[in-house]
Amino acid sequence: MLSITLTQLEYIIAVDTYRHFVTASEKCFVTQPTLSMQIKKLEDELGVIIFDRTKQPIVPTEIGAKIIEQARVTLSAGKKIAELIKEDSETISGELTIGIIPSLAPYLLPRFIGVFTEKYPMVKVKIIELMTEEIVFQLKKDIIDVGILVTPLSEAGVIEKPLFYEKMVLYIHAHHPLAKKKILKTTDIATPDLWLLSKGHCFRSQVLNLCSYQRSAQSELPFEYESGSLETLKKFVEKEGGFTLLPELAIDDSGKHADTRIKQFDVTPLREVSFAYTRNYSKKKLLELLETEIKKSVPKAMLTKDRGSVVDWR
């Protein structure tokens, strides 16, 4: 009979996640020799090599990858037992690690996180701003519990649960020619004076998909700049001209000129904001409580997509 411990499974998962024995040992709070010895013991027990140590960074062998995948399922099942006990008690406690994309974090987090932590003080919450691809990676590696991002993802092994739908609106300089148009079409914004987020941001991809714009023409802006911050783009519109697109939550603090600088389209483009988690997710109760607080924190109109059409970004 095989003798495999949960600790050994934790160790091989850590090495797979960080692709480095020393880093994995630090994350597991053990010495590197201890971690290496236990993994070697597991390999001897199974009669296979789990990691190819000749490559840098370290990678799993073909059979090793299958063993690690099953190890993640096994450990997740173990976590579910502990979560069932917690859910059965009246005390809401535990740890929750959340990954959230930068174009959502400054506008959504302040709406709900303070209320959530005050209501459930025994829940230790850790929040990390990450790009979408990194959120997906860390979900699959079980580094974070849940992602708050824009969907659809259509990513194997990742479950998407829509939370709300926010409009995409135009934020425009008062003297820009488009500011005078009564009816604005999405194709109108496919011009070189569009300020964009930098590559890798899903909202940038949504903007380009919305107006079918390939940035090949000579820019009419005073300089070319791609930012990771929507707030920076808003400032450039105000000082340098041109226009940008904003998600609905980002227009709340646009200042006294907000009504004149914001224009909507003849159709209503939406971005779908969702939870993302893996099929092995064990903290169901915490996720439900978090979902409730998020939905209560946004305008009710955002809870349905009937008012527009979701814009894909992939």
Per the listing, tokens 């994350």 go with 27
Tokens standing for residue 291: 């979902």
3-state percent breakdown (helix, strand, coil) of the chain, nearest 5: 45, 20, 35
| 239 pLDDT more than 50 | yes
> What single DSSP character describes residue 212?
T
Q: How far is CA 187 from the centre of its chain?
A: 28
Tell the CATH topology of 166-269. Answer: D-Maltodextrin-Binding Protein; domain 2 (3.40.190)
Burial of 154 (0-12, 13-18, 19+ CB in 10 A): exposed
CA–CA separation, 20 vs 25, rounded Å?
Answer: 9
| 228 pLDDT more than 60 | yes
Q: State the average pLDDT over residues 16-25.
A: 92
Average pLDDT, the chain: 86
pLDDT category at 261 given cuts 50, 70, 90 is confident
pLDDT-above-90 percentage for the chain? 52
- Give the DSSP per-residue string, 261-313: HEE--SS-EEEEEEEEEETT---HHHHHHHHHHHHHHS-GGGG-STTSEEPP-
Instruction: Please provide residue 254's backbone torsions phi and psi, each rounded to the nearest 5 degrees.
Output: -80, 0
Residue 123: which of 276, 283, 292 has the closest Cα?
283
Domain 6-86 class in CATH:
mainly alpha
pLDDT tens for 75-94 read 877 777 766 666 665 667 88
| 225 pLDDT more than 80 | no
Per the listing, tokens 């880093």 go with 23
pLDDT of residue 190: 82
What pTM was computed for the model?
A: 0.76
- Listed in order, the ranges of the chain carrying CATH 3.40.190.10 are 91-164+271-310, 166-269
pLDDT tens for 157-198 read 899 999 999 999 999 998 998 888 888 888 888 888 888 888
- Listed in order, the ranges of the chain carrying CATH 1.10.10.10 are 6-86
pLDDT of residue 126: 95
pLDDT category at 281 given cuts 50, 70, 90 is low
CA distances from 230 to 12, 67, 107, 140, 183 (A): 40, 43, 10, 28, 24
Domain 91-164+271-310 class in CATH:
alpha beta
pLDDT category at 252 given cuts 50, 70, 90 is low
Q: State the average pLDDT over residues 52-68.
A: 91
pLDDT of residue 254: 47
Residue 164: which of 5, 12, 310 has the closest Cα?
310
Instruction: Please provide residue 300's backbone torsions phi and psi, each rounded to the nearest 5 degrees.
Output: -60, -30
pLDDT of residue 83: 66
